[in-house]
Protein backbone atom coordinates (compact mmCIF):
# COMPACT_ATOMS: atom_id res chain seq x y z
CA UNK A 1 0.00 0.00 0.00
CA UNK A 2 1.43 3.37 -0.98
CA UNK A 3 1.35 6.04 1.68
CA UNK A 4 0.27 9.62 1.05
CA UNK A 5 1.35 10.64 4.56
CA UNK A 6 4.43 12.84 4.87
CA UNK A 7 7.42 11.37 6.67
CA UNK A 8 10.43 12.86 8.48
CA UNK A 9 13.62 10.96 9.27
CA UNK A 10 15.79 12.79 11.81
CA UNK A 11 19.46 11.86 12.23
CA UNK A 12 20.82 13.20 15.56
CA UNK A 13 24.59 13.53 15.27
CA UNK A 14 27.37 13.67 17.84
CA UNK A 15 31.03 12.82 17.19
CA UNK A 16 29.83 11.34 13.90
CA UNK A 17 33.01 11.72 11.84
CA UNK A 18 33.71 7.99 11.66
CA UNK A 19 30.13 7.35 10.52
CA UNK A 20 29.92 9.85 7.65
CA UNK A 21 29.91 7.04 5.07
CA UNK A 22 27.19 5.20 7.02
CA UNK A 23 24.99 8.30 7.24
CA UNK A 24 25.58 9.09 3.58
CA UNK A 25 24.52 5.57 2.55
CA UNK A 26 21.38 5.82 4.70
CA UNK A 27 20.49 9.16 3.09
CA UNK A 28 20.90 7.67 -0.38
CA UNK A 29 18.66 4.74 0.57
CA UNK A 30 15.75 6.88 1.82
CA UNK A 31 12.74 7.50 -0.44
CA UNK A 32 12.53 10.72 -2.47
CA UNK A 33 9.42 11.90 -0.60
CA UNK A 34 11.02 11.83 2.88
CA UNK A 35 12.10 14.95 4.78
CA UNK A 36 15.57 14.38 6.30
CA UNK A 37 16.96 16.42 9.19
CA UNK A 38 20.69 16.20 9.88
CA UNK A 39 21.28 17.79 13.26
CA UNK A 40 24.49 18.26 15.28
CA UNK A 41 24.18 20.22 18.53
CA UNK A 42 27.58 19.41 20.02
CA UNK A 43 29.92 20.35 17.14
CA UNK A 44 32.85 18.24 18.29
CA UNK A 45 33.83 17.53 14.66
CA UNK A 46 33.01 18.59 11.11
CA UNK A 47 30.92 15.55 10.16
CA UNK A 48 27.84 17.59 9.26
CA UNK A 49 29.92 19.89 7.05
CA UNK A 50 31.32 16.88 5.21
CA UNK A 51 27.79 15.63 4.70
CA UNK A 52 26.76 19.06 3.44
CA UNK A 53 29.52 18.79 0.83
CA UNK A 54 28.19 15.38 -0.21
CA UNK A 55 24.46 16.12 -0.07
CA UNK A 56 24.11 19.91 -0.07
CA UNK A 57 22.02 19.85 -3.24
CA UNK A 58 19.57 17.25 -1.90
CA UNK A 59 16.18 19.00 -1.60
CA UNK A 60 15.07 16.52 1.08
CA UNK A 61 17.66 17.57 3.67
CA UNK A 62 17.69 20.26 6.34
CA UNK A 63 21.10 20.78 7.93
CA UNK A 64 20.99 21.96 11.55
CA UNK A 65 24.28 22.77 13.25
CA UNK A 66 23.72 24.63 16.49
CA UNK A 67 26.24 25.28 19.25
CA UNK A 68 24.12 24.94 22.39
CA UNK A 69 25.56 21.53 23.31
CA UNK A 70 22.23 20.07 24.44
CA UNK A 71 22.11 16.47 25.61
CA UNK A 72 20.72 13.51 23.74
CA UNK A 73 17.23 13.73 25.29
CA UNK A 74 16.71 17.41 24.46
CA UNK A 75 18.17 16.81 21.01
CA UNK A 76 15.74 13.99 20.24
CA UNK A 77 12.75 15.96 21.52
CA UNK A 78 13.73 19.06 19.57
CA UNK A 79 13.86 17.06 16.35
CA UNK A 80 10.44 15.58 17.11
CA UNK A 81 9.02 19.09 17.52
CA UNK A 82 10.74 20.62 14.49
CA UNK A 83 9.83 17.87 12.02
CA UNK A 84 7.10 18.43 9.46
CA UNK A 85 6.13 14.82 8.77
CA UNK A 86 3.01 13.08 10.00
CA UNK A 87 5.20 9.99 10.36
CA UNK A 88 8.55 10.33 12.12
CA UNK A 89 11.58 8.31 13.15
CA UNK A 90 14.96 8.90 14.76
CA UNK A 91 17.71 7.23 12.72
CA UNK A 92 20.87 6.56 14.79
CA UNK A 93 23.97 7.84 13.05
CA UNK A 94 25.89 4.59 13.49
CA UNK A 95 23.34 2.05 12.21
CA UNK A 96 22.59 0.93 8.65
CA UNK A 97 19.06 0.96 7.23
CA UNK A 98 18.06 -0.71 3.92
CA UNK A 99 16.00 1.12 1.25
CA UNK A 100 12.84 -0.79 2.12
CA UNK A 101 12.94 0.05 5.83
CA UNK A 102 10.87 3.25 5.87
CA UNK A 103 8.42 2.22 3.08
CA UNK A 104 7.59 -1.07 4.81
CA UNK A 105 7.06 0.63 8.17
CA UNK A 106 4.85 3.28 6.55
CA UNK A 107 2.79 0.55 4.92
CA UNK A 108 2.45 -1.20 8.29
CA UNK A 109 1.12 1.97 9.95
CA UNK A 110 -1.19 2.64 7.01
CA UNK A 111 -2.59 -0.87 7.44
CA UNK A 112 -2.93 -0.58 11.23
CA UNK A 113 -4.67 2.73 11.98
CA UNK A 114 -4.86 2.01 15.73
CA UNK A 115 -1.08 1.58 16.04
CA UNK A 116 1.25 4.47 16.85
CA UNK A 117 4.57 2.69 16.29
CA UNK A 118 5.90 0.20 13.72
CA UNK A 119 9.38 -1.31 13.93
CA UNK A 120 11.70 -3.83 12.33
CA UNK A 121 14.28 -6.32 13.55
CA UNK A 122 17.98 -5.91 14.30
CA UNK A 123 21.17 -7.58 13.11
CA UNK A 124 24.10 -6.91 15.49
CA UNK A 125 27.34 -5.96 13.76
CA UNK A 126 30.66 -4.41 14.79
CA UNK A 127 32.41 -1.39 13.27
CA UNK A 128 33.70 -3.59 10.46
CA UNK A 129 30.27 -4.95 9.53
CA UNK A 130 30.84 -8.40 11.02
CA UNK A 131 28.09 -10.09 13.03
CA UNK A 132 28.65 -9.91 16.80
CA UNK A 133 27.65 -13.41 18.04
CA UNK A 134 27.37 -12.49 21.72
CA UNK A 135 24.81 -9.80 20.88
CA UNK A 136 22.48 -12.06 18.91
CA UNK A 137 20.48 -12.84 22.05
CA UNK A 138 19.67 -9.14 22.64
CA UNK A 139 18.56 -8.74 19.01
CA UNK A 140 16.29 -11.76 18.88
CA UNK A 141 12.79 -11.74 17.41
CA UNK A 142 9.73 -10.64 19.37
CA UNK A 143 8.94 -13.58 21.68
CA UNK A 144 5.13 -13.34 21.50
CA UNK A 145 2.48 -12.58 18.93
CA UNK A 146 1.67 -8.92 19.42
CA UNK A 147 -1.91 -7.89 20.02
CA UNK A 148 -2.97 -11.03 21.89
CA UNK A 149 -2.51 -9.70 25.43
CA UNK A 150 -3.97 -6.57 27.03
CA UNK A 151 -1.60 -3.73 26.24
CA UNK A 152 -0.18 -3.35 29.77
CA UNK A 153 0.43 -7.09 30.02
CA UNK A 154 2.06 -7.09 26.60
CA UNK A 155 4.31 -4.17 27.52
CA UNK A 156 5.30 -5.86 30.80
CA UNK A 157 6.02 -9.16 29.08
CA UNK A 158 8.19 -7.50 26.45
CA UNK A 159 10.18 -5.59 29.08
CA UNK A 160 10.78 -8.79 31.02
CA UNK A 161 11.47 -11.22 28.19
CA UNK A 162 12.81 -9.14 25.28
CA UNK A 163 15.02 -6.21 24.30
CA UNK A 164 12.19 -3.71 24.45
CA UNK A 165 14.46 -0.90 23.22
CA UNK A 166 14.41 -2.32 19.67
CA UNK A 167 11.22 -0.46 18.59
CA UNK A 168 12.97 2.84 19.40
CA UNK A 169 14.28 2.56 15.82
CA UNK A 170 10.73 2.44 14.54
CA UNK A 171 8.40 4.80 12.70
CA UNK A 172 5.75 6.61 14.75
CA UNK A 173 2.66 8.73 14.22
CA UNK A 174 4.23 12.05 15.11
CA UNK A 175 1.06 14.08 15.63
CA UNK A 176 -0.39 11.48 17.98
CA UNK A 177 2.86 11.27 19.94
CA UNK A 178 2.90 15.06 20.31
CA UNK A 179 -0.78 15.17 21.24
CA UNK A 180 -0.25 12.63 24.01
CA UNK A 181 2.88 14.34 25.32
CA UNK A 182 5.08 11.31 24.66
CA UNK A 183 8.35 13.21 24.53
CA UNK A 184 11.39 11.23 25.62
CA UNK A 185 11.96 11.68 29.35
CA UNK A 186 15.30 11.68 31.09
CA UNK A 187 16.23 9.06 33.64
CA UNK A 188 19.13 9.38 36.03
CA UNK A 189 21.38 8.41 33.12
CA UNK A 190 20.76 9.82 29.65
CA UNK A 191 21.56 6.57 27.85
CA UNK A 192 18.69 4.78 29.66
CA UNK A 193 15.79 6.54 27.98
CA UNK A 194 14.59 4.31 25.16
CA UNK A 195 13.25 1.43 27.28
CA UNK A 196 10.74 3.36 29.45
CA UNK A 197 9.62 5.27 26.35
CA UNK A 198 8.88 2.10 24.35
CA UNK A 199 7.20 0.54 27.39
CA UNK A 200 4.90 3.57 27.69
CA UNK A 201 4.21 3.64 23.95
CA UNK A 202 3.20 -0.04 24.13
CA UNK A 203 0.84 0.66 27.03
CA UNK A 204 -0.66 3.59 25.11
CA UNK A 205 -1.46 1.91 21.78
CA UNK A 206 -0.67 -1.21 19.72
CA UNK A 207 2.79 -1.55 18.21
CA UNK A 208 3.44 -3.38 14.93
CA UNK A 209 6.32 -5.76 14.25
CA UNK A 210 7.64 -5.85 10.66
CA UNK A 211 10.38 -8.52 10.92
CA UNK A 212 11.36 -8.29 7.25
CA UNK A 213 12.66 -4.77 7.97
CA UNK A 214 16.21 -5.45 9.14
CA UNK A 215 18.40 -2.68 10.56
CA UNK A 216 22.07 -3.34 11.24
CA UNK A 217 22.84 -2.16 14.76
CA UNK A 218 26.50 -1.47 15.51
CA UNK A 219 27.97 -2.53 18.85
CA UNK A 220 31.39 -1.15 19.76
CA UNK A 221 33.28 -0.16 22.94
CA UNK A 222 31.85 3.36 23.28
CA UNK A 223 28.37 2.52 22.02
CA UNK A 224 25.49 3.87 24.12
CA UNK A 225 24.33 0.31 24.89
CA UNK A 226 27.62 -0.81 26.40
CA UNK A 227 27.13 0.82 29.87
CA UNK A 228 23.68 -0.67 30.56
CA UNK A 229 25.23 -3.32 32.78
CA UNK A 230 26.44 -0.52 35.06
CA UNK A 231 22.96 0.41 36.28
CA UNK A 232 22.69 0.94 40.02
CA UNK A 233 19.70 0.17 42.23
CA UNK A 234 18.71 3.84 42.21
CA UNK A 235 18.61 3.78 38.39
CA UNK A 236 16.23 0.81 38.46
CA UNK A 237 13.97 2.51 40.98
CA UNK A 238 13.98 5.76 39.01
CA UNK A 239 12.14 3.89 36.21
CA UNK A 240 9.08 4.08 38.48
CA UNK A 241 9.15 7.88 38.34
CA UNK A 242 9.77 7.92 34.58
CA UNK A 243 6.95 5.52 33.75
CA UNK A 244 4.60 7.41 36.08
CA UNK A 245 5.36 10.65 34.25
CA UNK A 246 4.60 8.99 30.93
CA UNK A 247 1.30 7.64 32.20
CA UNK A 248 0.25 11.09 33.47
CA UNK A 249 1.36 12.95 30.34
CA UNK A 250 -0.42 10.54 28.00
CA UNK A 251 -3.56 10.48 30.17
CA UNK A 252 -3.56 6.69 30.22
CA UNK A 253 -6.73 5.35 31.89
CA UNK A 254 -6.19 4.96 35.61
CA UNK A 255 -6.50 1.13 35.77
CA UNK A 256 -3.92 0.70 33.01
CA UNK A 257 -1.64 3.37 34.45
CA UNK A 258 -1.82 1.80 37.91
CA UNK A 259 -1.03 -1.62 36.50
CA UNK A 260 1.94 -0.28 34.51
CA UNK A 261 3.34 1.53 37.54
CA UNK A 262 2.77 -1.53 39.76
CA UNK A 263 4.79 -3.65 37.34
CA UNK A 264 7.57 -1.04 37.25
CA UNK A 265 7.67 -0.92 41.06
CA UNK A 266 7.95 -4.68 41.28
CA UNK A 267 10.62 -4.76 38.61
CA UNK A 268 12.59 -1.94 40.20
CA UNK A 269 12.50 -3.50 43.67
CA UNK A 270 13.49 -6.90 42.37
CA UNK A 271 16.42 -5.59 40.35
CA UNK A 272 17.49 -3.44 43.27
CA UNK A 273 17.48 -6.55 45.48
CA UNK A 274 19.59 -8.42 42.94
CA UNK A 275 22.28 -5.79 43.48
CA UNK A 276 22.52 -6.52 47.19
CA UNK A 277 25.63 -8.41 48.30
CA UNK A 278 25.36 -12.11 47.52
CA UNK A 279 25.53 -12.99 51.19
CA UNK A 280 22.47 -10.84 51.92
CA UNK A 281 20.51 -12.30 49.03
CA UNK A 282 21.37 -15.87 49.95
CA UNK A 283 20.19 -15.24 53.50
CA UNK A 284 16.60 -14.88 52.33
CA UNK A 285 14.54 -18.08 52.75
CA UNK A 286 14.13 -20.02 49.50
CA UNK A 287 10.34 -19.33 49.32
CA UNK A 288 11.05 -15.61 49.58
CA UNK A 289 13.64 -15.79 46.78
CA UNK A 290 11.21 -17.70 44.57
CA UNK A 291 8.47 -15.19 45.31
CA UNK A 292 10.82 -12.31 44.48
CA UNK A 293 11.67 -13.86 41.10
CA UNK A 294 8.00 -14.33 40.34
CA UNK A 295 7.23 -10.65 40.91
CA UNK A 296 8.21 -9.78 37.36
CA UNK A 297 5.78 -12.25 35.83
CA UNK A 298 2.95 -10.26 34.19
Give me the pLDDT at residue 146, please.
97
List phi, psi (to 5°) of 13: -115, 145
Helices (H), 123-253: 151-161, 174-179, 194-204, 233-249
3-27, pLDDT tens digit by residue? 556 999 999 999 999 999 999 999 9
List phi, psi (to 5°) of 52: -65, -40
Q: What CATH code would you report for 1-94? A: 3.90.550.10
Q: 132 with 256: CB under 8 angstroms?
A: no
Give me the pLDDT at residue 208, please.
98
Q: pLDDT tens string for the chain (298 positions)? A: 445 569 999 999 999 999 999 999 999 999 999 999 999 998 899 999 999 999 999 999 999 987 787 888 999 999 999 999 999 999 999 999 999 999 999 999 999 999 999 999 999 999 999 999 999 999 999 999 999 999 999 999 999 999 999 999 999 999 999 999 999 998 776 667 899 999 999 999 999 999 999 999 999 887 765 555 566 767 778 889 999 999 999 999 999 999 999 999 888 877 777 666 666 667 767 776 666 666 544 4
Give me the pLDDT at residue 298, please.
44
List phi, psi (to 5°) of 94: -110, 10
Alpha-carbon distance of 130 to 124, in angstroms, equals 8
- Other CB atoms within a 10 A radius of the CB of residue 42 amount to 19
Give me the pLDDT at residue 30, please.
98
Question: Sign (positive/negative) of CA torsion 238, 166, 103, 117?
Answer: negative
Q: Which residues contact 188 (CB under 8 A, 6 or more apart)?
A: 234, 235, 238
Alpha-carbon distance of 167 to 217, in angstroms, equals 12
Amino acid sequence: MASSTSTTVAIPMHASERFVDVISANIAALPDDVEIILSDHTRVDDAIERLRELHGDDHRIRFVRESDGIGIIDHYNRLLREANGDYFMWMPHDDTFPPEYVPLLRAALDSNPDANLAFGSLRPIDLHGEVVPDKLHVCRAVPIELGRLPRVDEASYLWQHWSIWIPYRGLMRRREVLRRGMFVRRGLKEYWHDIPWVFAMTVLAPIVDVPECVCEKRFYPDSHHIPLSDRRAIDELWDIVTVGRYMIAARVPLPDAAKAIKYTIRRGLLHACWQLPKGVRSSFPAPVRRMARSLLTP
